[in-house]
Amino acid sequence: MDPQLKRGLLDICVLAVLQRADSYGYKIIKDASAVLEITESTLYPILKRLEQAKCLTVYSVEHNGRLRKYYSITELGRQRVIDFLHEWDAMMKIYEYIKEGQKNG
């Protein structure tokens, strides 16, 4: 898969996980692994980038005597998912056009 496309998909998948509920790193990896492979070394730069883009916020909660960082999607993050879905609809039209050309060619 094209690296730029994969990067964009990873961002959206992380946001999609957070649409379901606030979450922390390990659980985000576990939840996202249902559709793609993601590691800690991949996830944390994505979370930092999404936080800087104001697509998510971070807060800490004590868990077993330690602070655990939780991530929460913002309205801007939700809008980014909606925009992605609209763009994907347009991409699917192009895909179908290209695929149809293969059948006729």
CATH number for the 3-104 domain, one of 1.10.10.10, 3.40.50.150, 3.40.50.410, 3.40.50.11060? 1.10.10.10
Tens digits of residue pLDDT in 20-60: 999 999 999 999 988 888 899 999 999 999 999 999 999 99
Rounded Cα gap, residues 57 and 48, in angstroms: 10
Is the confidence at residue 105, as pLDDT, over 70?
no
What confidence score (pLDDT) does residue 28 get? Answer: 97
CA distances from 47 to 65, 94, 97, 104 (A): 24, 31, 35, 44
56-63/66-73 β-pairing = antiparallel
> Closest Cα to residue 56, out of 31, 88, 28?
28
Is residue 9 scored above 70 in pLDDT? yes
Q: For 56-101, how does the pLDDT look when each residue is reduced to its tens digit (9 = 90+)? A: 999 999 989 999 999 999 999 999 999 999 998 888 898 899 988 8
Q: What is the pTM of this model?
A: 0.84
Cα 88–97–15 angle (5° rounding)?
Answer: 10
